[in-house]
Chain A
Amino acid sequence: MSSATQIRAEETVLTPPSRWHGLLRRHATMPAILAVVLLGTYLWVNATDLDDIEQRALKTSELLRAVGEHVTLTALTTVLVVAIAGGGGILLTRPSMRWLAPFATGLANIGQATPAIGLLVLLSIYLGIGFSTTLICLVAYSVLPVLQNTIVGINQVDRHLIEAGRGIGMSPLAVLLRIELPLAVPVILAGVRTALVLAVGVATLATFISAGGLGSLIVTGIKLQRETVLVTGAVLTATLALTLDWLGGVISDLLRPRGLD
């Protein structure tokens, strides 16, 4: 089947531009903006005369504790959500379980549609206040985007690819691992990013059931009318959300299968 003309025409081998170069170009802006905002906030707080309350609330150790709690909550939420919603999404796209998918997304929709503060309070009535209740609330709140994107991501994989895979003798598990999941990764990760940002925001409510986090700074700032505390809490929350979103973007770029546009 050799056709010389064709080969000659195609001889210029396509070399894709370096992955790192594109990565840098696409993802360099956000860290720069965040650094400027953080630095500006720091200088502003530094230049302000802080009273006792402010000094206590803005101590470095205090800030680190709040950020640490917030990150821990968010990270655990992410792990649990990916496990529950990712795993669930995979199960719900198997032919035998497909019929269950609308019910599952309906259920997840309830979790997200309920106002977060209401969900938190309701859960704390039954489960008591504290860390684990907050975690459950956050998970319930962030399951939907990941679940939905996993289902959509897997279902959008060309059915003919799955047929071709089965046709050449791949087992259903091999088709899932080697074809469906790799090709669904961009969509699934988009869902995870959304869930992360949601979780960071909702985790500020943790302070209402004494689970700490950056919400405590914001609440202190509002209650005691200390603008510096309020602004610091808000800026740190926003920065955390944007950083995680940025990180998600980088990871999703790295994991994006080649060969897709």
Chain B
Amino acid sequence: MSRDVMIDLQQVSKFYRGQKAPVVENMSMTIQQGEIIVLVGPSGCGKTTTMKMINRLIEPSSGRILIDGTDVTALDGNDLRRQIGYVIQQVGLFPHMSVATNVGLVPRMLGWDRKRIEARADELLHLVGLEPAIYRNRLPRQLSGGQQQRVGVARALAADPPVMLMDEPFGATDPMTRDRLQNEFLRLQEQLRKTIVFVTHDFDEAIKMGTRIAVLGDRSKIRQFDTPENLLANPADSTVAQFIGRGARLKQLDLRRVDAITWEDVPLIAPDKATNGAKRQLEQAEGSSALTVDADNRPLRWVNAHDLTTDAGALAGAGQTVTTVEPQATLRDALDAMLASRDGAAVVVDEHGRYAGTVTLDGLMQVIHHTPEPEEPGAGVPDQRAGAAPAAELTPEQR
């Protein structure tokens, strides 16, 4: 076994007495250290059961589960769970205990002394963005839903477990809070490099959070287990494609960043250049626009030859406004910027706002068409949903 393997499920099954079909059947999966593995699938597919078998809240009926090389079925369940972070959708903060007590529960069970528990609780509250001096003595009901879930995450991290299990952790929050919590968590994960098993039924959340995504069918059967990019580009079968839903191409735009595509160059017009010189420059570069920039090379306006003839005076007020994106922005942001600009191009700027290049709709189209076409799922079966939607069709749920 490779050194980097953190969790290894081997032929794991779960039967309940009195039920013919197993809830989870012969599930095998290898998870590397530092990955966020998202288990995604329809309700009742056994994804939560699979997750709970890893910390043995549910005992597997057969198979082996190795964490860092140790078979967990041989360990004491309570000891095991103290070494695995656990976050649930309902947060589950104990209402009669202060925030600090909640966070310190696992260290306390591990026998840390009081000073160390208090220091750790403060450190974690700080880490999740809650000022310890203000929040440590609060009761859970004195916090907003988003704050409660931050405390929930802090509690799960308390004993610095290498593995975390998260069961729809952001599912109960409103869309804005959810988005913020997801971003914060991803940033946190960059520092912490935990191995995380994350359960959700929201495919968009899966794409956003997952290093790899396992799309599960009935009885936790793995239909496809791959990176978000590959999953979107090559759904293994019609069920997976259906689960991805419409607009797979649009979703791909979320995964790629501006710095991953080729930028184009446009003529720049420096501020000190005379109008006439600028005009000549534009006429040489036939039919296109140029960008006026300031002394620091920051983009100002789009101008074309026509702008310069009508406005014989100053260069400053001529032309169209510029929309900019940073190299780290997603292609969706870039598309948004392009659509906002009349010329269908967005200017890429560095962190100081200086011109770095431009991206255009044409360039974007090329990227999308270079990714392999998703196969038409369920050919011959009249299934409207499964058909890949044209990229331009932006339905409300994808926005």
Binding site for B on A (CB under 8 A): 1-3, 6-7, 10-11, 13-14, 158, 160-161, 163-171, 174, 178-179, 182-183, 257-261
Please name all residues of chain B whose beta carbon is closer than 8 Å to the beta carbon of A14 when the two chains form the complex. Answer: 138, 142
Set of chain A residues within 8 Å of B140, measured between Cβ atoms: 259
From B82, B88, B95, B127, contact of A183 by CB (8 A): B95
Residues of B within 8 A of A2 (CB): 126, 129, 131
Q: How would residues 123 to 158 of chain B score, 1 for a CB under 8 Å from any chain A CB and 0 otherwise?
A: 000111111001100111110000100100001100
Provided the pairs A183-B96, A261-B141 are in contact, do residues A1 and B188 lie with their beta carbons within 8 angstroms?
yes
Q: Is the CB of B57 within 8 A of A167?
A: yes
With A160-B90, A160-B92, A161-B94 known as contacts, the answer to whether A169 contacts B79 (CB < 8 A) is: yes
Structural contact, B134 and A259, CB atoms closer than 8 A: no
Contact B156 A163 (CB under 8 A): no
* 8 Å CB contact of B82 from A163, A169, A179: A169
Picked from A6, A167, A183, A257, the residue with its CB within 8 Å of the CB of B81 is A167
Interface size class of B (residues with CB under 8 A): 35 or more
B361 CB to nearest chain A CB (Å): 35
B residues apposed to A, CB below 8 Å:
55, 57, 78-83, 86, 88, 90-97, 105-106, 109, 126-131, 134-135, 138-142, 147, 150, 155-156, 165, 184, 187-188
A165 to B106, CA, bound (A): 10
CA–CA, A206 to B192, complex, Å? 70
B141 to chain A: closest residue by CB: A259
18 contacts between A and B (CB under 8 A): A1-B128, A1-B184, A7-B130, A158-B90, A158-B92, A161-B92, A164-B93, A165-B92, A167-B81, A168-B82, A168-B105, A169-B80, A169-B82, A169-B106, A174-B109, A178-B94, A259-B97, A259-B139
Look across to chain B and name the residue whose beta carbon is closest to the beta carbon of A12: B134
CB contacts between A and B, total, < 8 Å:
92
Q: Are A167 and B86 in contact (CB under 8 A)?
A: yes
Decide: B131 and A168 in contact? CB cutoff 8 A.
no
Question: Which A residues are CB-close (under 8 A) to B134?
Answer: 7, 10-11, 13
Set of chain A residues within 8 Å of B97, measured between Cβ atoms: 259
Chain B residues with CB below 8 A from A164, complex form = 86, 88, 90-94
- Expressed in whole angstroms, the Cα–Cα distance for A14 and B90 within the complex equals 24
Contacts of B82 in A (CB 8 A): 168-169
B260 to chain A, nearest CB (A): 27
